């Protein structure tokens, strides 16, 4: 019947050997079923089993994740609700202070909300602006990204790419975009990786990989198809132009103004093409 309490109790019986032979793997199976309903006891006991390596390979990371999920549903969640209410009532300073406090306690939603406020909202009464404000925002985005939020990983990549609140670092930007694409298969992260490979920023320049990432971006999200279409055709046009220029060294004849001459020639060619088409 899918009754979650019954599923949890079956897990407890198999975990403790009550009336049945002890079987940790079956216990994990039942607790995982109950996990879909976010049952606290199921989450807690999964943390115990993963932490002790019972019926599954030991994984402290998974155990901590489960225990953290239980802890965040405790009394401190009221503080998060209070911060949300402050924000809805346009009390931005009070909301930010609450979110910042909860961020240090490890609440992912508070971390991303703190970063969002710093990035988008004026905070009356808080004497922080410019580069320092960006530095604090990237700190909270990074904390959120460490907990696996794909959007936050893209944000951290953007901050490192543009040098906002942190020095420009294309290598770190590529790392965060790659993490974001691996975790949730983010279309935006894949597109950004394609661009970095096209330009050779933070990674080795590889136009073939750039085209692969562009295609993957369009496959993940149909809304990206137009941007991908333009990016791919620009890349191919650039490659063809570079091939053309490798055979004809325009600098030899026109010096530093070779690009202006090329633009003029292309303009004349397009004019003739349009003329003959209309004719």
Non-local (6+) Cβ contacts of 212 within 8 A are 194
Query: How much is the pLDDT for 69?
Result: 79
Is the pLDDT confidence value at 184 over 60? no
Is the pLDDT confidence value at 88 over 60? yes
- Cα separation, 69 vs 50, in Å, equals 14
Distance (Å) of CA 185 to CA 91, 199, 215: 36, 22, 13
- Cα separation, 228 vs 217, in Å, equals 7
Non-local (6+) Cβ contacts of 141 within 8 A are 111, 112, 115, 152, 155, 156, 159
Indicate the pLDDT class of residue 221, thresholds 50, 70 and 90: confident
Q: Looking at residues 176-181, what average pLDDT do you find? A: 92
Query: How much is the pLDDT for 35?
Result: 82
CATH homologous superfamily of 77-243 equals Tetratricopeptide repeat domain (1.25.40.10)
* 22-36, 73-87, 135-149, 195-209: the lowest-pLDDT one: 73-87
Domain extents for the chain?
Answer: 4-71, 77-243, 248-278
In this prediction, what percent of the chain has a pLDDT beyond 70?
Answer: 90
4-71: in CATH 1.25.40.10? yes
Is the pLDDT confidence value at 183 over 60? no
Does 4-71 match 77-243 in CATH topology?
yes
Answering whether pTM is above 0.75, one says no
């Amino acid at each position: 019947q899918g009754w979650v309490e019954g599923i949890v109790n079956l897990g407890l019986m198999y975990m403790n050997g009550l009336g049945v032979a002890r079987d940790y793997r079956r216990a994990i199976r039942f607790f995982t079923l109950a996990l879909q309903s976010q049952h606290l006891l199921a989450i807690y006991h999964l943390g115990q089993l993963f932490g002790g390596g019972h019926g599954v390979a030991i994984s402290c990371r998974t155990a901590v994740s489960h225990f953290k999920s239980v802890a965040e549903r405790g009394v401190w969640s009221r503080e998060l609700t209070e911060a949300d209410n402050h924000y809805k009532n346009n009390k931005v300073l009070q909301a930010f202070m609450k979110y910042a406090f909860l961020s240090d306690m490890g609440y992912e939603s508070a971390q991303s909300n703190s970063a969002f406020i710093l990035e988008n909202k004026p905070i009356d009464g808080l004497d922080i602006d410019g580069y320092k404000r960006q530095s604090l925002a990237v700190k909270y985005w990074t904390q959120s990204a460490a907990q696996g939020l794909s959007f936050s990983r893209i944000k951290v990549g953007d901050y490192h790419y543009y040098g906002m609140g942190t020095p420009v670092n294309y290598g770190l930007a590529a790392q965060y975009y790659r993490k974001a694409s691996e975790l949730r298969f983010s279309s935006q992260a894949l597109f950004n990786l394609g661009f970095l490979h096209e330009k050779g920023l933070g990674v080795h320049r590889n136009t073939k990989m750039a085209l692969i990432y562009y295609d993957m971006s369009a496959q993940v999200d149909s809304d990206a198809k137009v941007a991908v279409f333009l990016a791919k055709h620009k890349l191919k046009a650039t490659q063809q132009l570079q091939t053309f220029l490798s055979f004809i060294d325009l600098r030899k004849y026109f010096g530093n103004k070779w690009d202006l001459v090329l633009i003029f020639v292309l303009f004349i060619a397009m004019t003739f093409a349009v003329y003959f088409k209309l004719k």
